[in-house]
Structure 1
């Protein structure tokens, strides 16, 4: 036709751009206008907007005013907590099918108002697809229906506080709220500034769906002091957090000593590797990298790792694909200055730039930029660079590529690109991350459990495993009891010197024995050479002298454990089971000596002591049988392709044992940790250490690798401090004082450690070690593993 311009397929291919997207926000604007653009609180099923409260202003990407949000004060917190207590009673009175129907109706209502939800989340820079929220609701409604049948030994925690930071996406918020509701809890949400409007809208839709008043309350205001005020209420039983690490650390410190369980998912700002192997489809990999890093603002930062044999090809395609990209909007002038400083610093270190265009002289616009040739130690790699920067590093071998990807302190996710399925699976299992996407990125589904690895959190979200943060064992003793934080000097905790051993002229009526501890597969004295006296049950005589271990002993034990743990983890479940069966057989052979040690230490009758040894043998056999039970699976996901969920060992676990049942408690916790591939550093009861130190004879005769199990005796608080401050320790299981629990909650944040805390007094936990306590065994099993999801698309 006249005037038409013909284009070849080649021309069209090289000029392809993303099509125009609808930017209308009329529906969301109308909803905001209905609230006069002044959003209040949501308490007891209705909106409240007190007139005398401070407000925070929310702006869109262009700087235009979206709305104002009320900042809740203590009076609002009290009202919200009281409403949640009433809502919990109403919610608990419903049956599981009735709660499931409410969640399904909410999903239907969300579909009806999906456009408003999508527009409002885009306006507030907390973009979230309504379809993903509907999928969440449908998935967790099924768990609400099946809770009593599938989780018979568990009950809801009660009132749960869900906290997110200002930069957290809406999906992460609802990934906490919906499972908490599905398990029968009432929820108090403290959203960030960007998620507050969408959270209030979704709460309104919950009311329309028939959620009883008070079950879901929303208190806006992002200050850490508000989060702590809610947590201080005796009604609140647990706190779960999503967002950036800084706010997560602050939350842990302000809630330490309250006696509430705290779980954190600090994924925002995490650095995630994007690994391109030489066997990858280079065009698809480059398109995926550009989309992940530049097309849409994400809460995570990417680092591109490319194999040297295809580096030139990747760089050439990056230049070609980025030529047509527009500049992206930054949030503030401070972000612009930070971006320019990072780029200038990278260039001074020898990096070259690939940019879609030259940066404008001024304004809040900056081009998409790839920093080529940066070193792993470069600040733009170690500290997440601000959007839209993408560091690029190279590696030679496949093994080096995995090591480079594991260089990041974060363990949130990774994307690997290869057409070699064997390489993909091997790399996925070797990466220390919670999610691995093969030839894809940023895919998620609630059916897959994902745990935070390294410095990316202490809880598991998704799947059945993600439900346990909102549940507690029905029949076992509570882990923590509500209390007021003690006035604790964290720098001096555990620094009290051990009592001096002074010879006396008193007649010793019982034979005094000197014991040794167990480090690196060898019996040894403490590094200090000191000992402490253990009293006989009558309190009149010294029963034994035990090593007084300290920080150097913990260091040696952790070093030995970290060397042997990777090899032990790689052994198949059957091999680990056989080792535990052998350990149980060795324990049976030493039954008389161990029974005598328990009797001499605790004063129990010989029959009672012998029964504890018998239960310990049975417990080891149970753990051996369970070795092959936690195998993960391939959940059905709505996306095209396949997905795997795999249980993984935590690494090196520190265990501080209780006073009661000194042998049975040791065997129970040791068996669970070792069965799943962990190594352990165990601290026996300071009051009753003799049975644990006698058990060393069984370990010496076993076929467990040297260093897998280490036993260090000494002052509980001193060894707790040493374990808490060792970066290699991944988790701490603690039975001790409330002050010890408070110290661990306050201290174990850099990096985050998974904590399983018990502040029980004498005699309170004895029944929980009984053979009928199935809930304790199940809880122990879940605390011994973390989960990884692997996505493998087929199209």
Structure 2
């Protein structure tokens, strides 16, 4: 039901923007209502939940036009057919959940947060899969989507779900989402919108113990590439529609091959003459557009406009800036308005370089009649979606994964459903928001135990001296004598290791799955040849019996063989209901930083190492600070293996200092962390610019080497979950007549 704010506060809705505010008491009522509804909703059978969603699709058929008109008035456009298709797709997954996803457990209460400038479709692509999997949802919409979200909630409650399954809280600040996340009832938060608000949400929720996924769908810079083999007329029509008529969330940049640039410019000028001025959202946006145009002209750019720009107001003509440089401000930080920078290139490699110049990686459009050229370019672009001879096409059955600064989660398809699965392995830790004044914050390591004796790390495939020249003593569990001296690494060691990993990772990624599998099989064989030395190191370091140590080595060999076999299990997408075909391709993240657990030091290390290397990543690993000796012994196996030098890099030392160094390195794409709750909070607060994919596991100090996650299990769901953490997805659309 609709609830009026207790104190009657509200904001006037100008152009259907603005919303009521929410008090703490009302927030508490909302979360308790969601918890009660979750018990009823999750208790329903898959068939019953599917029937509710199918009735919702029928309601959208009847009232979808009204909902979409409201979206248009709110400047959050969305089409009724796309919404109906979305509901029908996830109602099918609701029906098949238990048969295709056995042992599935829903998370509980999911919070979905949007920025003010996000589209209504971006909201629904997160809400519907959460509902289909049996979760209850609290929606915190942005200013543009608030009216449509309230109307959708009314339609949804009219089809008969338990009361409280879907809740909408409106507020005038993005931090309302962080206030919701601090509730003990929230189990997961998903954000969609612009990068600035994403950073605010991530920092505000650091330490509250709730996993947060981010989709930066607003403000991303996307390349539109026209090759000389393209149908120029179709390409120009498409770029006009994409840049000035259709999707206002992304900002397009046009790249044209030198040989056809004159033809493209002539056609652009012809089509612009028939276009009217486009509205901008605010006076500040208009000022930014004027400043960008003037600066581009001063730098030698040529303007193509449909008409002369009015001296003031919120109307501006569609404008193409020809001849701008890739370093121009209108290219690097384009303003929110109807501006399209046009740049030229000579070869395919140059086009890829220009397309990957942006810090964003959401989508790209390629225009060519040469299919081989299209697929080669699509594979080389670091984006989540590539449209071939088309643009802005979407379907819920294909994954949309944000690359680089475009997010840390995958929307669409079965992969999105995995986000709403119960994370039993994740220890959420205490719900204490991160504070820089906390006495346990990172970094606070000291070198009080350091020895002035030089030891060596491993990167570039060989032993290298630690930059500090210091080491720390490794002692047995009960104390006593020194087993070995472990290098005490620091920030400079991390930089060296990342540079080595960055050089070798692109070549490793291009190897075939079969070649990567053979390398891992050889690594497992080398590990087996050193099984006695490794077992002795585990026995002396952790204190377990020799029999238990030998069993861990045996399981480690088996785990590497499993990952070698897993290399061949490449999953992809299939045909779509509309004309054309599409592929969904898993790609490696790049360089992954790993801070490894204490339990089963060898087995846990090879489990996560196998997942990363099998999928084409390079790694910088920090072994357990308490039990590093087995990994130092494993270095001998790595040095004699066929792995490319620099693919696996190992740095030992103070975990807090090395965590800070990895978190602040811009090249690291993801961090897998086993450590303290304070370390988890620090990473959530720090890894927002650029965005990093985080997998955080709170390791209790009382667990010791035998507590926490059970690394001996090897069921498919556990392996697949690790595999999903190591990849990002790219969808390639290929239309046919």
The TM tier, using the shorter chain, reads over 0.9
- The one of 167, 171, 189 equivalent to 2:121 is 171
Distance apart, 1:535 and its partner CA: 1.5
Q: What corresponds to 2:686 in structure 1?
A: 747
Q: What corresponds to 2:3 in structure 1?
A: 48
Q: What corresponds to 1:615 in structure 2?
A: 555
Q: What corresponds to 1:568 in structure 2?
A: 508
- The one of 494, 502, 515 equivalent to 2:443 is 494
Mapped to 2, the partners of 1:443 and 1:644 lie a distance apart of: 13
Distance apart, 1:456 and its partner CA: 0.3
Q: What corresponds to 2:521 in structure 1?
A: 581
Distance apart, 1:466 and its partner CA: 1.2
Mapped to 2, the partners of 1:710 and 1:51 lie a distance apart of: 58
Mapped to 2, the partners of 1:315 and 1:50 lie a distance apart of: 55
Distance apart, 1:228 and its partner CA: 1.3
C-alpha change, 1:502 and 1:518, in structure 2 (3 Å) is: closer
- The one of 616, 624, 629 equivalent to 1:690 is 629
Distance apart, 1:306 and its partner CA: 0.7
Alignment of 1:374-773 (within 5 A): 374-473=324-423, 476-489=424-437, 493-501=442-450, 516-634=456-574, 636-761=575-700, 762-763=703-704, 765-772=707-714
Distance apart, 1:534 and its partner CA: 1.3
Distance apart, 1:493 and its partner CA: 2.1
The answer (yes or no) to whether the contact 1:153–1:775 under 8 Å persists in 2 is no
Alignment gaps of 5+ in structure 2 = none
Distance apart, 1:543 and its partner CA: 1.7
Distance apart, 1:767 and its partner CA: 4.8
The answer (yes or no) to whether the contact 1:531–1:545 under 8 Å persists in 2 is yes
Mapped to 2, the partners of 1:309 and 1:336 lie a distance apart of: 34
Distance apart, 1:646 and its partner CA: 0.3
Q: What corresponds to 1:95 in structure 2?
A: 45
Q: What corresponds to 1:793 in structure 2?
A: 735
C-alpha change, 1:154 and 1:499, in structure 2 (3 Å) is: farther
Worse-superposed segment, 416-425 or 116-125 = 116-125
The answer (yes or no) to whether the contact 1:275–1:415 under 8 Å persists in 2 is yes
C-alpha change, 1:528 and 1:245, in structure 2 (3 Å) is: same
Give the TM-score, by structure 1 length: 0.90
Mapped to 2, the partners of 1:766 and 1:514 lie a distance apart of: 34
Q: Deviations over 1:301-340 (max 9, x none)?
A: 0000111111111111111111111111122222221111
Distance apart, 1:482 and its partner CA: 4.7
Counterpart check, 1:355 vs 2:310: no
Mapped to 2, the partners of 1:279 and 1:489 lie a distance apart of: 59
The answer (yes or no) to whether the contact 1:59–1:124 under 8 Å persists in 2 is no
C-alpha change, 1:67 and 1:538, in structure 2 (3 Å) is: closer
Number of residue-to-residue matches in the alignment = 733
Mapped to 2, the partners of 1:518 and 1:380 lie a distance apart of: 43
SS at match of 1:70: coil
Alignment root-mean-square deviation, CA: 1.6
Mapped to 2, the partners of 1:612 and 1:316 lie a distance apart of: 69
Distance apart, 1:669 and its partner CA: 0.3
Counterpart check, 1:776 vs 2:726: no
Q: What corresponds to 1:36 in structure 2?
A: none
Distance apart, 1:51 and its partner CA: 5.6
Alignment gaps of 5+ in structure 1 = 1-45, 61-65, 504-512
C-alpha change, 1:691 and 1:303, in structure 2 (3 Å) is: same
C-alpha change, 1:329 and 1:204, in structure 2 (3 Å) is: same
Mapped to 2, the partners of 1:595 and 1:738 lie a distance apart of: 31
The answer (yes or no) to whether the contact 2:206–2:434 under 8 Å persists in 1 is no
Distance apart, 1:706 and its partner CA: 0.2
Q: Deviations over 1:702-743 (max 9, x none)?
A: 100000001100000100111111111000000000010001
The answer (yes or no) to whether the contact 2:455–2:471 under 8 Å persists in 1 is no
C-alpha change, 1:53 and 1:710, in structure 2 (3 Å) is: farther
C-alpha change, 1:575 and 1:68, in structure 2 (3 Å) is: closer
The answer (yes or no) to whether the contact 2:221–2:250 under 8 Å persists in 1 is yes
- The one of 276, 281, 285 equivalent to 1:331 is 281
Mapped to 1, the partners of 2:137 and 2:360 lie a distance apart of: 29
Distance apart, 1:523 and its partner CA: 1.2
Mapped to 2, the partners of 1:488 and 1:239 lie a distance apart of: 23
Distance apart, 1:500 and its partner CA: 3.5
- The one of 76, 81, 92 equivalent to 2:31 is 81
Distance apart, 1:777 and its partner CA: 2.1
Distance apart, 1:629 and its partner CA: 0.4
Q: What corresponds to 1:205 in structure 2?
A: 155
C-alpha change, 1:58 and 1:608, in structure 2 (3 Å) is: same
The answer (yes or no) to whether the contact 2:455–2:469 under 8 Å persists in 1 is no
Q: What corresponds to 1:39 in structure 2?
A: none
Give the TM-score, by structure 2 length: 0.97
Q: What corresponds to 2:71 in structure 1?
A: 121
C-alpha change, 1:111 and 1:496, in structure 2 (3 Å) is: same
SS at match of 2:222: strand
Q: Deviations over 1:61-81 (max 9, x none)?
A: xxxxx4752111211110100
Counterpart check, 1:321 vs 2:260: no
The answer (yes or no) to whether the contact 1:615–1:771 under 8 Å persists in 2 is no
The answer (yes or no) to whether the contact 1:527–1:549 under 8 Å persists in 2 is yes
